Amino acid sequence: MESLATERTVRQQFAAETTYLNTASTGVLPLDAAEAVRTALTEYSTGRPYIKEGFDSVEESRALFARLVDVDVRRVAAGASVAVYAGLLATSLPAGAEVLVVDNDFSSLVNPFVVRADLKVRSVPLPELADAVRPGTDLVAVSAVQSADGRIADLAAVRDAARAHGARTLIDASQAVGWLPLRADDFDYLVAVAYKWLLAPRGAAFLVTPEDRDHISPIFAGWVAGEAPWDSCYGPVTELAHAARRFDESPCLLAYSAARHSLALLDRLGPERIGAHNAALADRFRAGLVELGHQPIPAPGSAIVSVPGLDHLAERLADAEVFLSSRAGNLRASFHLYNTEAEVDRALAALAG
């Protein structure tokens, strides 16, 4: 069977000249997405501002993201970062609210709650998260896939425990959406940046809100948050958007001009196929590491593989144009739709060398 990376649809979209196994840091931009940015820059530089096309890109990207996480598009806000949206949700909590997080989860998800001194933030190991939900827990915030080591959270158990105790759930899908099938409707909030597995430039991110969103105050609402944005440019916004668009940040149009093409590619291929491809490459890498005498952190089914104690090798591998990353004392590899078995073997050979 033809591998995903060798299919014509994929081959035509990627032109990486290195062994790039670092999508968990930054994804490779598809050629259609790169061309869209060049077109937009030309428009800007010749005095033809890319405004209508840019805002059309935001709406198309919003709709495509909604399809990827299987949720009504009216529940999706478009912004730029996880930290901003986590901060937005932090402001919605009453003083004294308890937020349950995971030890050493990504700081953009955790820190906005920690810096609000009147919240009670409790941190537990990932395997204990569902059991740690208790009466009085207001919000459970966790990454679907841990950035440092690729472990996948038991989201179904977290969801069920939170519902049993009346807590809301916030899932950071930045290291998952695009390859790990997710149903955002299973959770209250889901947030993700687009510059990793969604293959867009920095500057695009999404927040999925519940239908009952009146408890969230749109504290950074500008003109784009209006029901009629172009009629909301001056003075107070008299009518906020009825949908989650009331939580939009003023968008980075260049990022979204690319994102619409990257998301369309992922939509065509589907997270199930992409995830199976990625997991197979990750398993091949894990097996090769064991043969070399290294023991990766257990993360069954994950597209991310981390090896403790080898983080110092990332720079040496980069000199050989094999790109992995150093994270929390681990050498971290991550595999996506454009990677091949040959690249896995090349990385293993470089490590053996």
Helix (H, G, I), strand (E, B) or coil at 197: coil
pLDDT of residue 50: 81
pLDDT of residue 1: 45
Alpha-carbon distance 102 to 52, whole Å?
42
pLDDT tens digits along 41-50: 999 999 987 8
Alpha-carbon distance 323 to 25, whole Å?
10
> Between 16 and 155, where is the model more confident?
155
What does the pLDDT average to over 79-87? Answer: 98
pLDDT of residue 2: 57
pLDDT of residue 94: 97
Cβ count within 10 A of residue 115:
11
Nearest-CA neighbor of 66 among 76, 52, 54, 79? 76
Going by pLDDT thresholds of 50, 70 and 90, the confidence category of residue 3 is confident
Pairing of strands 189-193, 205-208: antiparallel
Alpha-carbon distance 89 to 207, whole Å?
10
With 90 as the cut, is the pLDDT of residue 6 above it? no
Alpha-carbon distance 145 to 152, whole Å?
4
Tell me the domains of the chain and their CATH numbers: 4-29+270-352 (3.90.1150.10), 41-268 (3.40.640.10)
Please enumerate in sequence order all residues whose Cβ is within 8 A of that of 232, keeping only pairs 6 or more positions apart, or say none. 223, 225, 226, 238, 239
pLDDT tens digits along 233-253: 999 999 999 999 999 999 999
pLDDT of residue 308: 97
With 80 as the cut, is the pLDDT of residue 309 above it? yes
pLDDT of residue 49: 78
What does the pLDDT average to over 254-283? Answer: 97
Going by pLDDT thresholds of 50, 70 and 90, the confidence category of residue 117 is very high
Asked if 69 contacts 89 with a C-beta cutoff of 8 angstroms, the reply is no
Please enumerate in sequence order all residues whose Cβ is within 8 A of that of 220, keeping only pairs 6 or more positions apart, or say none. 84, 88, 249
Going by pLDDT thresholds of 50, 70 and 90, the confidence category of residue 5 is confident
pLDDT of residue 259: 98
User: What is the CB-side half-sphere exposure of residue 334 using CA atoms within 13 A?
Assistant: 25
Asked if 261 contacts 196 with a C-beta cutoff of 8 angstroms, the reply is no
